[in-house]
């Protein structure tokens, strides 16, 4: 009796005798075209229109009122004109302060672009322009003028003014963190804790901005908060560990009665420190390491 064995199919492999072609050493990289700026948004245009109408119509109504007062008497007309001029002068001063704060933030962007580029002359000019707003740190200017490359200019700024500003920022953040820690541990209401953190954080951002030579108004502060929120993504990794430890501490039934709200206060203080660092990164023209 013979048993026929069925031959199993085998994979078919085709090998080429010629070697595979080598890839070129250099591959051209196509840079994407820069998208044009979108300009101001819809809300900005609408608010600007409302502001122009409010100020313009108020100016026209005031002008008509002043003219009517002059018809009643010269003294009354001049008095009305003086009051109107004082009021619109204060309004103009406030608007100019807001615009100056916004221009200061855009100036930081231009200086950062110059320091991040490869032009030595532009880097020196950017360093001089920044240090003019920080006269207490202008002792590094002779070394910057003698630097032979952009990297040396940036290194001198990091070793001198940036290090001093970092120390000042850490001092401000420690004061704010201590205040938030004490208040959060003492206040039992979470809503009041949130209001306190928002108020103290806004004040801390303004203090850090003034330390870096930027003096934003209301609109400038809002713009700075937006930039701070963007810069905070670079420094929030440590906050995850603090939050994990705090939740683990509060979830323990034994330590919950002992710790109370201390862990939450520690997290709030830690967030205040991270907020100060993010604000310093947004206000400093020196590129990060």
- Name which residue leads in pLDDT, 214 or 236: 214
pLDDT at res. 34: 41
* Alpha carbon distance 151, 157 (integer Å): 10
Which pLDDT tens digit goes with each residue over 57-86? 888 988 898 888 888 888 988 999 999 999
- Mapped onto helix, strand or coil, the DSSP state of residue 264 is helix
- Mean pLDDT for all residues in the chain: 76
238, pLDDT greater than 50 = no
32, pLDDT greater than 50 = no
pLDDT at res. 183: 75
Which pLDDT tens digit goes with each residue over 125-178? 888 888 888 877 778 888 888 888 888 888 888 888 888 888 898 899 888 888
- Mapped onto helix, strand or coil, the DSSP state of residue 133 is coil
Q: At what angle do helices 120-132 and 150-157 cross, to 10 degrees?
A: 20
Identify which of 149, 127, 148 has the alpha carbon closest to the alpha carbon of residue 139: 127
pLDDT at res. 31: 39
- For residues 7-35, average pLDDT: 53
* Alpha carbon distance 90, 111 (integer Å): 31
Contact between 255 and 174 under an 8 Å Cβ cutoff? The reply is no
Phi, psi of 37 (to 5 degrees): -65, 140
- The full length of the chain comes to 289
Which pLDDT tens digit goes with each residue over 96-111? 888 888 888 888 888 8
């Amino acid at each position: 009796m013979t048993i026929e064995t069925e031959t199993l199919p085998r994979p078919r492999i085709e090998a080429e005798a010629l070697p595979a072609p080598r890839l070129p050493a250099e591959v051209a990289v196509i840079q994407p075209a820069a998208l044009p700026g979108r300009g101001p948004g819809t809300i900005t245009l609408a608010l600007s229109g409302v502001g122009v109408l409010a100020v313009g119509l108020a100016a026209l109504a005031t002008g008509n009122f002043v003219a009517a007062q002059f018809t009643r008497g010269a003294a009354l007309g001049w008095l009305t004109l003086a009051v109107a001029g004082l009021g619109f002068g204060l309004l103009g001063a406030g608007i100019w302060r807001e615009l100056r704060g916004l221009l200061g933030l855009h100036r930081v962007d231009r200086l950062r672009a110059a320091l991040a580029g490869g032009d030595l002359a532009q880097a020196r000019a950017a360093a001089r322009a920044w240090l003019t707003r920080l006269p207490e740190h202008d002792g590094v200017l002779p070394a910057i003028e003698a630097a032979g490359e952009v990297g040396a200019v940036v290194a001198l700024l990091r070793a001198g003014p940036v290090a001093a500003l970092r120390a000042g920022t850490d001092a401000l953040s420690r004061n704010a963190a201590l205040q938030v820690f004490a208040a959060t541990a003492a206040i039992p209401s979470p809503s009041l804790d949130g209001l306190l953190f928002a108020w103290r954080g806004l004040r801390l951002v303004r203090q850090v901005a003034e330390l870096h030579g930027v003096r934003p108004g209301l609109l400038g502060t809002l713009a700075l908060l937006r930039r701070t929120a963007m810069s905070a993504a670079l420094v929030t990794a440590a906050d995850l560990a603090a939050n994990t430890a705090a939740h683990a501490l509060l979830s323990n039934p034994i330590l919950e009665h002992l710790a109370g709200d201390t862990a939450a206060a520690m997290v709030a203080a830690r967030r205040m420190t991270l907020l100060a660092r993010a604000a310093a990164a947004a206000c400093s023209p020196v590129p990060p390491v």
